[in-house]
Structures are given as C-alpha cells and as structure tokens.
Amino acid sequence: MKWWLTLALCLTACSRTMPEPAPLAEEIRVGSPFPNLLLPDLDGRAASVAAMRGRKLILHIFASW
C-alpha cells in the first residue's frame, strides 16, 4: 500500500470519535480467555477471574434465588 494511502486511511479513522465499546454479551467462548472483567467481591474489593489462574477453576455464574 502506498504510504500516502495508509496515512489518509489512518487520518480518516483516527479523526472519528471512538465508538462505544460493544457489550460483553455472549463472550464466554470455549478456547478463549474468560472475559477480563474487574468486578467487586462480596466485600467490595476489586477482583477478577483472570487473577485466579494457576489452578483449574470451576466458575458458577448464578443467583441465590
């Protein structure tokens, strides 16, 4: 690709407002990392599933009802 074409495409793309991030729906896929979300634990401290790596993990997404 010509350098000036690359630059023009970049300028066009970069000048746009950054879009809203897509919602993390249905992103739990076999073969991929678990969605890398930072969530509070029950005491309000920041926690993540990624920080639990190192052991095999069974994760239950649930509600007590």
Partner 1 sequence: MHVPGWHEQTLKLQQEGRLAMAGIVQEQHPDRARLFMQWKRMDWPILVDSLNLLGVQVVPLTVAIDEHGIVRATGIKLADAARFAEEFVNTSYPAPAVLVVPPPPPDLHATSPRASADDVFLWGGIGRVSEVIASYRKIRDADAPVLFRLGVAYRARYDSPHREPGDFQAAVDHWQQALDLNPNQYIWRRRIQQYGPRLDKPYPFYDWVPAARREIRERGEEPAPLVVEPGGAEFASPAKQLQAAAGPAEPDPGGRIHRDEMPFVLVEQTVVPPAVAPGATGRVHLVFRPNTARQAHWNNEAGDLVVWVQTPDGWEIDPRRLTVPNPPLEVSLEPRQVEFEFRVPTGAAEGDTRVAAYALYYVCEDENGVCLYRRQDLQVRIAVAR
Which is closer to partner 1, CB of 5 or CB of 17?
17
- Using CB under 8 A, pick the residue from 7, 8, 10, 37 that binds partner 1: 37
- Residue 13 within binding range of partner 1, rule CB under 8 A: no
Contacts of 38 (CB under 8 A, 6+ apart): 46, 47, 48
Q: CA 13, CA 40: separation in Å to the nearest integer?
A: 35
Site for partner 1 contains 61 (CB under 8 A): yes
Cβ–Cβ under 8 Å, residues 48 and 40: no
Rule CB under 8 A: which residues touch partner 1?
18, 20-21, 23-42, 46-65
